[in-house]
Structure formats: C-alpha cells, structure tokens
C-alpha cells in the first residue's frame, strides 16, 4: 500500500485526539490539554510532509516529465495553492 505508513500514523493520531477529548471532558489542566493538542498538530504536520513528499516524488515528477503542458501547469498550481493555504492557517 502506497500510504501505509501515513495510515498508521493517522490511526495513532486518532487515538491521541480521543485522549485529548477525554482530557477536556475530565476537566484536565488547560496547559496539559494545550500541550497534547500541540503534539497532535505536530504529528499531523509530519503526516502532511510525508504525503506531500510522496506526491512530489510521484505525481508531480510524472507530470513534469510528461508531454502535456496543461498537466504540468495543473500540478504546479496545486502545490502553490497548498502552500498559499498553509500560510493562511
């Protein structure tokens, strides 16, 4: 499976998020909750980087090496949009 490692990471993150939910439900100390949320965000960022790297090294390279200029332009525009959106978060 192409994204097996990413799927495993996401399942781990899912469990972590459930743990954070329990912390909030149990009225845990706010700073502890925030630290756990930051850990989840960092883990999601790692998965994002991993999937983006896979995309760049497969889909984007294929499009750039291909003969269709519109496809090259499309994949490059997608990457630019991803970074533009990330800057707004």
What CATH class has 4-88? mainly alpha
- 2-30: string of b/e by CB count within 10 Å (b at 16+)? eeeebeebeeebeebeeebeebeeeeeee
Domain boundaries, the chain: 4-88
Q: What is the largest CA-CA distance in the chain?
A: 58
Note the pLDDT tens digit of each residue in 3-13: 899 999 999 99
Q: Which is higher by pLDDT, 88 or 25?
A: 25
pTM score over 0.85: no
């Amino acid at each position: 499976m192409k994204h097996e490692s990413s799927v495993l990471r996401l399942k781990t993150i899912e469990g972590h998020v459930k743990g954070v939910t329990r912390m909030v439900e149990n009225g845990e100390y706010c700073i502890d909750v925030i630290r756990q949320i930051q850990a989840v965000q960092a883990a999601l960022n790692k998965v994002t980087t991993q999937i983006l790297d896979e995309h760049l090294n497969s889909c984007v390279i294929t499009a750039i090496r291909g003969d269709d200029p519109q496809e090259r332009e499309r994949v490059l525009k997608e990457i630019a949009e991803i970074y533009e959106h990330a800057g707004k978060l």
